């Protein structure tokens, strides 16, 4: 490896490589071990570089299934894997659990609380969080779904609402407790609304004595004129019919004006009383642009060039939900796992090319399709020419997600849980854990 490295370097871009004493391998620092960061690290497996992956958590999160943790279908450990374990066998990787504090571009150093890590190549893949469009005060009464903490908090709120409804003797309070409002008609909102409706009507329905949980209201509120706006209109309509079939009320062109512990108020003045409002509308990128002193768009995403570089720094790549990237047809690249993976692979190939002194290709986003699941047997899938809905789309969705779940163990356990849930309308993780019971 050592010789290869030297070979690579003599032909390489020396201005970018300041060898450390006793180690002449280029240093690649990857911030964030989401889909993008991991893809970059794995794609550099056989390259003679020293990779440091920095994440403030010890686990990689399989975001697309997080809504199932929030609705008691899966356990956190089934959608999260230790980053160390995933990269355990890749000898050129070191994983550090640290929180990034700042990036010194001039010195090419990343500073964390306890360490300063120099880099020759930097890949920033620190993702995004949900946003409240300047109404951050809504966060407490309408949690969003981005982390395991969010998911277990939402799970506790949903299950506690049923528990409190069973206890209370106040009819109005009971009605508010049995009303669930999901704000945002994107894939996450659609998945959440469908899963909550099923939880109430199929799973916990036999478990209560004083309340009829099947009468629980689930309201999906979307500001735009249809749910799943990134999908063809016909699939949006199908998704809405499937949701309504599960008992979800879908309100389109219904913007939320106000949100508090008692419920939401819509732009047209309508008030929906609910003790459990969930936020699935809009995201804000991580602080990457601030760290890098780079330009950002309205969603806080770093503006990058066609090679995913911060303009003027061809050794700094920003990828995934943290980057504002346009595909060739000029449309923004979606904030999905496949897109992040493609960007991570691009960054790895670019670094390989830079080391070898070869030209770097521009990033080309390949769009494979859109998927959104709705319930136990329903989903919609858009693969351009091929459009599926209902059970067939649901099967495709399950297979796709199962396949991409990192780790054999998780795949197996999740598959079994889904199988049992499907056969027995069961949910395996119906735990209410509070701040002191993580």
Which residues partner with 263 through β-bridges?
260, 273
**Which is the catalytic residue, given 191, 198, 222, 345?**
191
Give whichever of 148 and 360 is closer to a second copy, judged by the CB atom: 148
Q: Is 241 in the site for a second copy (CB under 8 A)?
A: no
In angstroms, rounded to a whole number, what is the distance separating the alpha carbons of residues 195 and 282? 20
Sequence-ordered list of residues with C-beta below 8 angstroms from that of 409, at least 6 positions apart, any chain: none
Among 68, 71, 108, 147, interactor with a second copy by CB under 8 A: 147
The 3 state secondary structure assigned to 343-399 is HHHHHHHHHHHHHHCCCCCCCCCCCCCEEEECCCCCEEEEECCEEEECHHHHHHHHH
Q: Is 425 in the site for a second copy (CB under 8 A)?
A: no
Binding window for a second copy (CB under 8 A); candidates: 15-23, 336-344, 387-395, 406-414: 406-414
Q: Which of 162, 181, 154, 174 is nearest to 265 (CA)?
A: 181
Q: Are 202 and 376 in contact (CB under 8 A)?
A: yes
Least distance (Å) between residue 76 CB and a second copy: 6
Tokens for 217, please give them. Answer: 């209201």
Q: Is 198 a catalytic residue?
A: no
Least distance (Å) between residue 80 CB and a second copy: 6
Q: How many residues does the chain have?
A: 438
In angstroms, rounded to a whole number, what is the distance separating the alpha carbons of residues 180 and 210? 19
Residues 61-80, mask of contacts with a second copy (x by CB under 8 A): --------------xxxx-x
Among 88, 215, 225, 392, interactor with a second copy by CB under 8 A: 88
Provide the b/e sequence for 110-121 (b: ≥16 CB within 10 Å): bbbeeeebebbb
Q: Is 96 in the site for a second copy (CB under 8 A)?
A: yes
Binding window for a second copy (CB under 8 A); candidates: 3-11, 87-95, 268-276, 305-313: 87-95
Q: Are 109 and 86 in contact (CB under 8 A)?
A: no
> By three-state DSSP, how is residue 55 classified?
strand
Binding positions for a second copy, 149-178, rule CB under 8 A: 149, 152-153, 156, 159-160, 163-164, 166-169
Give whichever of 78 and 286 is closer to a second copy, judged by the CB atom: 78
Using CB under 8 A, list all residues that contact a second copy: 57-59, 75-78, 80, 82, 84-85, 88-89, 94-98, 114-115, 147-149, 152-153, 156, 159-160, 163-164, 166-169, 204, 206-210, 409-410, 412-413, 416-417, 420, 426, 428-438
Residues annotated as part of the active site: 191
């Amino acid at each position: 490896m050592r010789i290869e490295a030297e070979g690579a370097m003599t032909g390489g871009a020396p201005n970018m490589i300041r060898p450390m004493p006793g180690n002449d391998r280029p240093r690649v620092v990857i911030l964030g071990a989401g889909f993008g960061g991991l893809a970059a690290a794995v794609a550099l497996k056989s390259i003679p570089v020293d990779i440091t992956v920095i994440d403030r958590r010890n686990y990689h999160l399989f975001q697309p299934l997080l809504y199932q943790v929030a609705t008691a279908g899966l356990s956190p450990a089934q959608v999260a894997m230790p980053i160390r374990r995933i990269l355990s066998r890749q000898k050129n990787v070191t994983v550090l659990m640290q929180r990034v504090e700042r990036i010194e571009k001039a010195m090419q150093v990343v500073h964390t609380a306890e360490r300063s890590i120099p880099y020759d190549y930097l890949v920033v893949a620190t993702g995004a969080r949900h946003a409240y469009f300047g109404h951050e005060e809504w966060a407490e009464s309408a949690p969003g779904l981005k982390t395991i903490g969010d998911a277990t908090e939402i799970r506790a709120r949903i299950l506690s609402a049923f528990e409190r409804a069973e206890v209370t003797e106040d009819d109005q309070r009971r009605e508010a407790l049995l009303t669930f409002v999901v704000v945002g008609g994107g894939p996450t909102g659609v998945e959440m609304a469908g899963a909550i409706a099923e939880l109430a009507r199929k799973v916990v329905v036999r478990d209560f004595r004083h309340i009829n949980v099947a009468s629980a209201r689930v309201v999906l509120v979307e500001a735009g004129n249809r749910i799943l706006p990134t999908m063809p209109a016909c699939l949006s309509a199908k998704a809405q019919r499937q949701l309504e079939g599960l008992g979800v009320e879908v309100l389109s062109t219904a913007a939320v004006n106000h949100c508090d512990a008692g419920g939401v108020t819509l732009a047209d003045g309508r008030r929906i009383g609910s003790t459990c409002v969930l936020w699935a509308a809009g995201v804000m990128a991580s602080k990457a642009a601030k760290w890098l002193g780079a330009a950002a768009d309205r969603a806080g995403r770093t503006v990058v060039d066609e090679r995913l570089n911060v303009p003027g720094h061809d050794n700094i790549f920003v990828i995934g939900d943290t980057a504002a990237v346009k595909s060739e047809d000029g449309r923004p690249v979606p904030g999905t796992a496949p897109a992040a993976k493609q960007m991570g692979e691009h960054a790895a190939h670019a670094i390989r090319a830079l080391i070898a002194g070869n030209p770097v290709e521009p990033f080309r986003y390949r769009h494979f399709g859109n998927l959104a699941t709705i319930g136990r047997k329903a989903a919609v899938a858009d693969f351009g020419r091929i459009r599926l809905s209902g059970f067939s789309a649901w099967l495709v969705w399950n297979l796709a997600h199962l396949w991409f779940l990192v780790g054999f163990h998780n795949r197996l356990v999740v598959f079994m849980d889904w199988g049992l849930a499907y056969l027995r309308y069961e949910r395996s993780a119906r735990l209410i854990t509070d701040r002191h019971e993580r």
